[in-house]
């Protein structure tokens, strides 16, 4: 089941964790990314598929905070 404005299945979001820290991820609706606050990385979602590779993740700026949306 996908919630409005979330291109990723909500149940899948509940199961995913950061591959580096094993910590929770937060859905950033504005950037359409899964954010690991602990690792300061934002993993892209392409065609509804989370790309959970650190090499594909964007490093967050020190002052950048994810805008939480639906999900974790």
- Domain range summary for the chain, segments of one domain joined by +: 1-72
Please give the residue that has the higher pLDDT: either 41 or 5.
Answer: 41
For the stretch 32-56, what's the b/e string if a residue is b when 16 or more beta carbons lie within 10 angstroms of its beta carbon? bbbbbbebebbbbbeeeebebeeee
Residue 48 has pLDDT above 50, yes or no: yes
Take residue 35 and report the two structure tokens written for it: 């954010």
Question: In sequence order, what are the residues at sequence separation of 6 or more whose Cβ sits closer than 8 angstroms to the Cβ of residue 34?
Answer: 8, 13, 16, 25, 26, 27, 28, 42, 43, 45, 50, 52
- CATH of 1-72 given 3.10.180.10, 2.70.150.10, 2.20.25.10, 1.10.1840.10: 2.20.25.10
Averaged pLDDT of the chain = 83
What average pLDDT does the segment 5-10 reach? 68
Residue 68 has pLDDT above 90, yes or no: no
pLDDT at 5: 56
Take residue 25 and report the two structure tokens written for it: 């991820």
pTM: 0.77
């Amino acid at each position: 089941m996908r919630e409005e404005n979330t291109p990723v299945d909500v149940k899948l979001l509940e199961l995913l964790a950061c591959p580096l820290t094993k910590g929770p991820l937060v859905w950033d609706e504005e950037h359409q990314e899964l954010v690991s606050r602990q690792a300061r990385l934002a993993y892209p979602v392409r065609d509804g598929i989370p790309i959970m590779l650190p090499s594909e993740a964007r490093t967050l700026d020190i002052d950048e905070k994810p805008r939480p949306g639906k999900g974790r």
